[in-house]
Structure 1
């Protein structure tokens, strides 16, 4: 009859609505997808961090290499001066050797140092060196003759004598006040007894300049202000 509902329609209306329940398989699938997304994000972050660290390390090494290249080029312009790249050391050879039990430099030796040091200062002011160079340590050495403390004191006097040559106002090739201020800020004196001796006593009585670099994450410490008395002079 027209307008009469079929039994099937009647039953569909009378049945209560069933709640929607996600199946266990669907739940596990969703959790797995979420896990994979989280892992992908974490791996991407780790990869990016590693890549940035590798990039920083590569730039750090490149700056050190470029800085040492400048040191080598400077040494080539001065007879008898060489650079030990393994130790980052500038060796003056017989151009800055000392007599037995002496810390005095001849006027000629002082002239050699005053001609070379401005090139080191220019090197230190280059972009590469400014990013990674910490300081230049002037290291005095002795031969094996004498006691440890006596030789240690002598080696310190020899390294100090190199700085004295930089601050002298007389003699050839004097440094400008600006260069002296840079020497004060960049150079540091140090000494060794016979722990770093060479093959012969004559070779051991020497002075070297070691270039020291910052660590990759080390922050540069601002140098202290100069003394109010100016640069001063060294006693003979």
Structure 2
């Protein structure tokens, strides 16, 4: 007679299985904590970035102010009395003027004064604090607010060009050094205007200014152009 197989008794199962998923409320709590941590990190990064930008901006402004202050100090020298610094512009006033409706200097001494003063400006431009932010120098000539606009516009540009001719000339007894002429050729630009001054004095419209332009924060410094040095034997304004 075959025996009846009795199944082996197993241990009693647990009444309930352990849960695999966390509850919805716990999930939302975890996500909220993760969001708050991410926001805190982002805010710290933004705050730190703004602080660095503010610091760099202040350092740039102080450096430029110190550079301009050095230029202003030049105008206090007895030999340069009459030159003034307004903002980032150097105004020669009545020390350098042009003949009426002409781009020629009013007096021979005006040209010599330009060649005497500008090298001192270049010395300041070469300093570490100025060189770091200086972008270019614009020689801006002025012309009358009355008369033909295009004629005056061209005249103001020719007056700017006349100053550059004086600086790059190699025919004068007080010719600038090769280093100075090379820096002028790569750093200076000629500009002109016929009406953007509030001065009512006609003589003040026959003048020239030197304007310094500085790089913006974060802008890369451009490499100086490789331009052969002009021999300075001929000025296009003489033709």
Could you say which TM-score interval applies, normalised by the shorter chain? 0.7 to 0.9
Higher fraction of helix: 1
- CA contact 1:156–1:190 (8 Å) conserved in 2: yes
Q: How is 1:171-182 mapped onto 2 (pairs within 5 angstroms)?
A: 171=172, 173-182=174-183
Match of 1:6 in 2: none
Q: Number of residue pairs matched?
A: 222
Match of 1:10 in 2: none
CA-CA distance at 1:40 after TM superposition: 1.4
Distance in 1 separating the partners of 2:230 and 2:84: 36
Mark the CA change 1:232 to 1:221 in structure 2 (over 3 Å): closer, same or farther: farther
Match of 2:159 in 1: 158
The TM-score with structure 1 as length reference comes to 0.84
Residue segments in structure 2 that go unaligned for 5+ positions in a row: 1-10
Give me the CA root mean square deviation.
Answer: 2.2
The TM-score with structure 2 as length reference comes to 0.83
CA-CA distance at 1:229 after TM superposition: 5.7
Q: How is 1:2-151 mapped onto 2 (pairs within 5 angstroms)?
A: 14-16=12-14, 18-20=17-19, 22-77=22-77, 78-85=80-87, 88-105=88-105, 106-151=107-152
Distance in 1 separating the partners of 2:90 and 2:39: 51
Residue segments in structure 1 that go unaligned for 5+ positions in a row: 1-12
Distance in 1 separating the partners of 2:182 and 2:205: 30
Match of 1:224 in 2: 225
Mark the CA change 1:147 to 1:183 in structure 2 (over 3 Å): closer, same or farther: same
- CA contact 2:170–2:231 (8 Å) conserved in 1: no
- CA contact 2:170–2:233 (8 Å) conserved in 1: no
Deviation larger for 74-83 or 18-27: 18-27
